[in-house]
Structure 1
Amino acid sequence: MNKMENFTLLPSITWNMGNVVRFIMPMVLGYLTSQSCWWKVSGKRAGATVAFRPPAYVFGIVWPLLYIMIGLSWVIAAKTRKQNTHIEVCYISISVLLASWIFLYGCKNKKVWGVYSIALSIGAVIMTMNVVDVESRILLVPLITWLLLALLLNVFEVSKT
């Protein structure tokens, strides 16, 4: 038997109600938060003063993919780890902190607080990566990479004002 036949990046997932909630919660929380003040941000181009900011359509592609990966990571972690309460707290923290950036930066125009929110999000992802298995950790790597870029963009924008 080939060693690669035994390797699966995503273990089989049972889609019960708990896993469905884990999968969609980060996405729903993020989109509900952004919709709560869409009239404040719909006409603006956030971060327009930052020369190296990606085009707006990139964010529309990247964030749904990141939300899917966060959800899958959470579902896999909940299945493979015994300390479920710690894992639930970690992923809920990530979801709330990501939504808090939308609220602080977009709704309240508190760009400095946005920097803190991203920094705390990075810390929460690192903490989570330390308590989950490899499969879940791999799915969080794109998020931490994107958050580092977001931190750089946010700090650069704050320093220009």
Structure 2
Amino acid sequence: MSFVDLPSLLLAIPRNSITAVGLPLALGVLSGKHTGKVVRSQWYNPYKTLYMPRVRPPNYVFPIVWPLLYISMGYASHLAVKALDTSTAETARAGASLGLSLYYAQLALNVAWSPLFFGMKQVGWALVDSLLLAGTTFYMTKTLDSCTESKSTYLLLPYCAWLCFATYLNGSIWWLNRGRTLNKNM
């Protein structure tokens, strides 16, 4: 799929740096709307219901880290559109086009994770989503590197690192709780 195939709205959003940053922030807020409630629930209680990995940050870290990552990924999409608009080299335009397509794919996977894990309490499906998200994001980062002269890479590397850690957390929770009957109504 080339960027030309994407609807014009998807091209227009990241043209403006404010909307480029605002889109992932807004989607992240909507996706994680009920996360705080579930994190404080019986289901997510590491001492009562779920076995948790030993290495995990305190819950207050997540609402600090995620907005920063959404801002950086949004601005990276802005840089990709700028590269698409200004580049005369076909390879750079093709890279920016593919990178933007991957950007929207990873954004959809990102938005799906919280409802899968916290909303439906489908830890295994959330892990599949997390693996696809990390792979797509790494490929997007590599694809956008040359057409943005590595500027997007500096913005996306913290996101890639965090996705590795988040996938470890999700995978550990799945592994430690596999075969257990978890009360999903909690």
User: What secondary structure does 1:52 align onto?
Assistant: coil
Q: Identity over aligned residues, as a percent?
A: 28
> Which consecutive residues of structure 2, in runs of 5 or more, have no partner in the other structure?
1-12, 47-51, 85-92, 178-186
TM-superposed deviation, 1:22: 2.2
> Which consecutive residues of structure 1, in runs of 5 or more, have no partner in the other structure?
1-15
Question: Quick one: distance in 2 between partners of 1:135 and 1:70?
Answer: 11
Q: Is the 8 A contact 2:25 2:67 kept in 1?
A: yes
1:135-150 aligned at under 5 Å gives the runs 135-150=151-166
2:57 matched to 1:54? yes
Q: Give the structure 1 partner of residue 88 of structure 2.
A: none
* TM-score, scaled to structure 1: 0.80
**Does the C-alpha gap of structure 1 residues 40 and 109 become closer, same or farther in structure 2, counting only changes over 3 Å?**
farther
Q: Is the 8 A contact 2:32 2:114 kept in 1?
A: yes
Matching residue within 115, 125, 128 for 1:113: 125
Per-residue CA distance 1:38-67 (angstroms, 9 max, x = gap): 586153384832221100111121111101
Give the total of aligned pairs.
Answer: 145
* TM-score, scaled to structure 2: 0.70
Q: Give the structure 1 partner of residue 106 of structure 2.
A: 94
User: What secondary structure does 1:109 align onto?
Assistant: coil
Q: Is the 8 A contact 1:47 1:157 kept in 2?
A: no
- Give RMSD over aligned pairs: 2.2
User: What secondary structure does 2:143 align onto?
Assistant: coil
